[in-house]
Amino acid sequence: MSGVLPTPAPVPTPESEEFWAATAQGKLLLRRCDDCQTPIWYPRGFCPVCGSFRTSWSEASGRGVVYTFTVVHRSGVPGYREALPYVVAYVELEEGPRLLTNIVECEPDDVEVGMAVRVVFFDTGKGSALYRFAPAPS
């Protein structure tokens, strides 16, 4: 499908294992600091703001907005070449973190900074799914 990048299975680390397992259930998890409440992205076992090791998982709403993006028109990489043109974006979640991602389910020319998006999952077939974002219903 045009605009959709390949969906290779990630190799979970001990710190990301639960995150990737949740993606297979259609859930986007965020780690949150139990001491200063900062949402932590990417998944890791300590808070990058206050240094606390007291963190726990919570489910993100899956809603956010396009913070910035680019439309990729050229690639020689198999799998990526067939997806041209595709959108690579930073999406800012409602909870605050910004995720590097792929915008799908719309024409690249329709993507705008500030556009409301929602998470969608693409099954890797190996017990995980990759998160991408699509325009949110208005």
Q: Which residue ranges make up the site for Zn ion (CB under 5 A)?
A: 33, 35-36, 38, 47, 49-50, 52
User: Which helix H or strand E contains 17, and what residues bound it?
Assistant: helix 17-23
Q: Nearest distance from residue 97's CB to Zn ion, in Å?
A: 14
Q: Of 49 and 77, which CB lies nearer to Zn ion in the complex structure? A: 49
* CA–CA separation, 80 and 77 (whole Å): 5
Rg (CA), the chain: 16
Q: Of 54 and 126, which CB lies nearer to Zn ion in the complex structure? A: 54
Q: Of 60 and 83, which CB lies nearer to Zn ion in the complex structure? A: 60
Between CA 99 and CA 30, with CA 132 as vertex, the angle to 5 degrees is 50
* CA–CA separation, 20 and 76 (whole Å): 29
Q: Nearest distance from residue 84's CB to Zn ion, in Å?
A: 41
Q: Which amino acid makes up residue 100?
A: L
Q: Nearest distance from residue 31's CB to Zn ion, in Å?
A: 10
Q: Nearest distance from residue 138's CB to Zn ion, in Å?
A: 35
Q: Of 47 and 83, which CB lies nearer to Zn ion in the complex structure? A: 47
